[in-house]
């Protein structure tokens, strides 16, 4: 029975080492460990700028299609 207790103690020590290693490696991921919540908020000016750029892209595409 003492061998079983020793093996169990050794396994627990290994598990602790692995837990520390996993925690250290998880911290290296940066953004992957912190999930964003919600949607980004854009200002009206930013939305207008994006919309104008998209309209320009569509106009260019349609003009090329007509040729």
pLDDT greater than 90 at residue 49: yes
Chain mean pLDDT for the chain: 87
Q: CA 17, CA 30: separation in Å to the nearest integer?
A: 22
Give residue 1's pLDDT.
Answer: 72
Q: CA 63, CA 22: separation in Å to the nearest integer?
A: 55
59 near 51, Cβ under 8 Å?
no
Task: Name which residue leads in pLDDT, 50 or 2.
Answer: 50
Q: CA 20, CA 22: separation in Å to the nearest integer?
A: 5
49 near 55, Cβ under 8 Å?
no
Domain boundaries, the chain: 2-29+43-66
* E strands, the chain, in order: none
Does this model's pTM top 0.85? My answer is no
- The answer for residues whose C-beta is within 8 angstroms of residue 27's C-beta and 6 or more apart is 33
Query: pLDDT band at residue 33, thresholds of 50, 70 and 90?
Result: very low
């Amino acid at each position: 029975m003492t061998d079983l207790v020793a093996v169990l103690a050794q396994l627990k020590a290994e598990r602790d080492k692995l837990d520390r290693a996993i925690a250290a490696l998880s911290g290296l991921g940066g953004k992957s460990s912190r999930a964003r919540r919600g949607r980004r908020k854009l200002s009206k000016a930013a939305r207008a700028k994006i919309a104008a750029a998209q309209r320009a892209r569509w106009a260019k595409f349609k003009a090329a299609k007509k040729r």
